[in-house]
Amino acid sequence: MAQETNSEENRGPIAISSAPIMKTSLVVSLVTHLIILAGLQKAFPIDWVAKPLQTYHVELLRPPLDPLEEDKKAATELAKIKPEKSASLEESEDTISLETKDKRYSSYAKIIKSRLMQHWKYPHEAWGNLIEGEVLVLFSMNRQGQLKGINILQPSRYAILDDETTRTIRLSAPFPPFPGSVTVKKLNIKANFAYRLTAGK
């Protein structure tokens, strides 16, 4: 019993003396936090007072558009544009030679030349009579490769050579349709047919 009383008496003064230490600790902690907060405020400013929100008033000057009506208008405008493009395509044409270096036409020109070479022959009668000459011809075709016309620009002095030239072109037709690189509606091709006899033949 005596020991318990002593222990209780000992606890009383300790509890009383710890109160000022706790108060001091709280004050020091509060001051420290205020200093830290002030430092953070300088480094990272924070607006403690909320600014009033700015509001804007928007007024529509015209009623909202119907998306379906806009689509219909756009489709109508496209429909008007497309015929104009196709009309310009129908009127467009170009003239090339079989030896063209133009990348748009060179591969197609080689195909045409190969087709002509398959049907081109030296006329037997001209061969027998040692007839030579050159024929410069212009022939036209549409996008499907169908022959549209033949025009001899520079005839030879012999009808037999001129006739063989036109016969060769007609037999070679129709030609392959235009590839994607050829965008014209009509293509004119200038070709030179040279009939030459050599000593080896």
Task: Domain ranges for the chain, please list them.
Answer: 93-195
- Percentage of residues in the chain having pLDDT higher than 70: 65
Region 103-123: mean pLDDT is: 95
**What is the CATH number assigned to the segment(s) 93-195?**
3.30.1150
Report pTM.
0.55
Region 185-200: mean pLDDT is: 89
What SS3 string covers the chain?
CHHHHHHHHHHHHHHHHHHHHHHHHHHHHHHHHHHHHHHHHHHCCCCCCCCCCCCCCCCCCCCCCCHHHHHHHHHHHHHHHHHHHHHHHHHCEEEEECCCCCCCCHHHHHHHHHHHHHHCCCCHHHHHCCCCEEEEEEEEEECCCCEEEEEEEECCCCHHHHHHHHHHHHHHCCCCCCCCCCCCCEEEEEEEEEECCCCCC
Region 144-152: mean pLDDT is: 97
